[in-house]
Amino acid sequence: SKGDRGARPLSVGEIELSWQEGLREVLMARYGVSKEEVAAASEAEEEAWRCDDPEGWLAANGFFPGAAEALRRCDAEGRCQLLLLSRRPPRQARQLLEHAEVPGLRLLETEEWEGSTKADALAALRRAQPEAELRFVDDSARTLLTCASDPRLLPVALHFASYGYSSASEAARIGAVQRMRTVTRSRDLASVFSCAQEED
């Protein structure tokens, strides 16, 4: 892709800043594909990889070091309910769950979301368990910023996993939101869960 000023290729930073502001749509229009077609092609490619090389796929997509251990410790304490919200196809999410070996970690099926976003899923959980303490960890700044601006989720503790696929600019945007907490290392997830109150 070329920048507006001459034929200079866009830098990584320019692509990152422009991606959510229309660059993605411009590229899809240029190559004559829809968002749905791109998503379907990406899902098909990953599914082929998962089937052809399950060990390689798990190694590339599994939990970060220390994350599964923190979840197992929390699960063993039996003081909270662990739920996974994932946009992955259910068969992929379930395989990752099996690989993590956390017996009490349950995939929240998309039918339970009561909407199309993770914010909707969290709102549904709040309605189902209004007295429960909810803690949400995600490595998507966009998802967390959406949750932070949703009045339905004011009581939900939001944690940004900056060790995931995030950039410095995303971390800065998260840092500007007072209610957001940043987890810089996956092994520090243990502290996120350690003082969670018991849920009914």
- Backbone φ and ψ for 152, nearest 5 degrees, come out as -65, -20
* Per-residue pLDDT tens digits for 14-60: 787 777 668 888 899 999 999 899 989 999 999 999 999 999 999 99
pLDDT at position 195 over 60: no
Amino acid, single-letter form, for residue 143: T
Fill in the DSSP letter of residue 5: S
pLDDT at 7: 66
* Rounded alpha-carbon distances, angstroms, from residue 181 to 46, 83, 99: 31, 19, 28
Distance CA 130, CA 126 (A): 5
52 and 170 in contact (C-beta within 8 Å)? no
* Per-residue pLDDT tens digits for 137-174: 999 999 999 999 999 999 999 999 998 878 888 888 99
Neighbours of 104 (CB within 10 A): 15
Distance CA 171, CA 180 (A): 11
pTM: 0.79
